[in-house]
Structure formats: C-alpha cells, structure tokens
Amino acid sequence: LCAVSKFLQFSGPDSQQCRPIWMYPSYARIDGFDTRFTPLAHKYHLYLYREQGKDKEPLNGNEIQLDGVPVLFIPGNAGSFKQSRSIAAEAANIYFESKDILDNQVNTRNLDFFTADFNEDFTAFHGQTMLDQAEYLNDAISYIISLYEESNTYDMPLPESVIIVAHSMGGIVTRLMMTLENHIPGSINTILTLSSPHAASPVTFDGDILKIYKKIDRYWT
C-alpha cells in the first residue's frame, strides 16, 4: 500500500486534499492577568501566541507588543492552549505573505492571537467547570482590551471587542459567557466555533450540564 501511494498519482475524491502548515510557535504567558483582575487566575492562565520570524516579539521591555485585531482562542474538553498554533500560524503566514498588497488597504491588520490555558479541564463532564471558564474568559476579554488602551506603541483605532475562535466545548462556553453577570455587552465581535456540540451535551453525567444548556438556549433564543 505504501509503495502504491508513493508512486501513483490519485485523482478525484482520492486526491490529496490537505496542505501541511509549517509552524514556528511561541507562547508568551500574560502574567499581569492575575488575581487583581480575576479570582480564577490561580487556576487558569492567558497566553499570547507569536509566530517566530513573522510576528512582533511579545515584549518590548516590560510592554506587550500588540499590532493587530485581538482574537481569543478557547480550547475544548481536555484541550490545550497550544491547539491555537495551526490557525494562528496560518493567519500570520497569509498576512505577512500578502503584506505588500495589504499595505495599501488602511483597514487591514494582523491578528493578535490570545489563547486560554485551562490545564486541560474536562469541560464536557462538569457544569461548574464550564461556569468557571466562562467567568474567567469574560474577565480575560476585559483585560485584553485594556492592554490596547494602555499601549504606547499601538497606533491604530483601539479595539473595543475581540473575535473568538472556539473548539468543541469551547464553543458552548463562549455562548455561556454572554449569560453571566461579568459579561460586558459588545465585548465580543464575532464567534467562530469548530466542531462544537451546540444541539445537545455530548455526555449527561452531571445534571448541571443540562441546566446550563437550557440556560444557554433560553438566552440565545
């Protein structure tokens, strides 16, 4: 089979459809987002992704270097914050490889990918874990926006919201965020979910999960 796949060219539905993405990831932990801003800082963390050789270095002295639109990646059940690397790397590749063209377009900017570290929590099995993550993320968005307001080098209109990219149960946590008291209206601009179980919970071991799904459905309806 290996010899056949190596020497024969397949066509139609058997042809190769995937293109590999080359990544040179780095993750800068945002230590300033601590218990002064969220009571859950002892449990979770926030990182800024940087594609090495393309994006700016994460720090200039003590200041975080930001130059684009803020994006927050939310992992799913038992997911890692490092799962942001493929989409963040490809976004950087597209932007910098097209920069000569994009420089003539005033409103086109790079993306600043932030990513949440939940220590690979089992989100799908525990309702309180979903609530903790949603509360943490609302506070994280407020903090991310404040970083742009405090920046001395950011020379574009200040963002007032973030784009969310969420995988699996992270998509449900995103929808839950808007139902909580610490959510700031208008702080989320766009939500992109990847393989999220919006219709029903994948497991029903915890009754709180079912209550959260009902709460989310009522709010969004």
Grouping H, G, I as helix, E, B as strand and the rest as coil, residue 47 is strand
User: Count of residues for the chain?
Assistant: 221
Nearby residues of 50 by Cβ (< 8 Å), 6 or more positions away: 25, 26, 27, 28, 56, 57, 58
Write the CA distances from 170 to 15, 18, 27, 112, 139, integer angstroms.
32, 25, 20, 19, 16
The three state secondary structure string of 126-193 is: CHHHHHHHHHHHHHHHHHHHHHHHHCCCCCCCCCCCEEEEEECHHHHHHHHHCCCCCCCCCCEEEEEE
CB 33 within 8 A of CB 46: yes
Inter-axis angle of helices 169-177 and 127-150, to 10 degrees? 70
Q: Phi then psi for 111, rounded to 5 degrees?
A: -115, 135
Active site residue 168: yes
Pick the catalytic residue from 84, 168, 196, 201.
168
Instruction: Provide the annotated active-site residues.
Output: 168
